[in-house]
Amino acid sequence: MLVISNRVALVYDLMEPLRPKVEQLVLQFLQKCVFSPKDFLLLENGACRLHPQLAKIVSQITVAEETVNQVIFNAVIKLETL
């Protein structure tokens, strides 16, 4: 992992516990949907990206039982009590 600052490293550390749930939700979404070429953008450098509207939908489905902000807040509070 590229560490630009301690703050960046902390953000990556805080999101790791959420990764399995987010991946599960995204995979469930992918299994239920049929995509078309219009759902993706092919950039000049060859990179393939989600269309902004689809990206917004994907980001919204990744909010699980607790919001990401609540999970991060709880983790920060736990770190402060150590």
Please report, for residues 13, 22, 68, the alpha-carbon distance to residue 65 in angstroms, rounded to integers and kept in the order given: 20, 11, 9
Q: What is the pLDDT of residue 44?
A: 95
Q: What is the pLDDT of residue 45?
A: 96
Q: What is the pTM of this model?
A: 0.52
pLDDT one-digit tens code per residue, 2-61: 545 555 677 778 778 878 877 887 788 888 888 899 999 999 999 999 999 888 887 777
pLDDT one-digit tens code per residue, 26-40: 788 888 888 899 999
Strand ranges for 1-82 from DSSP E: 40-42, 48-50
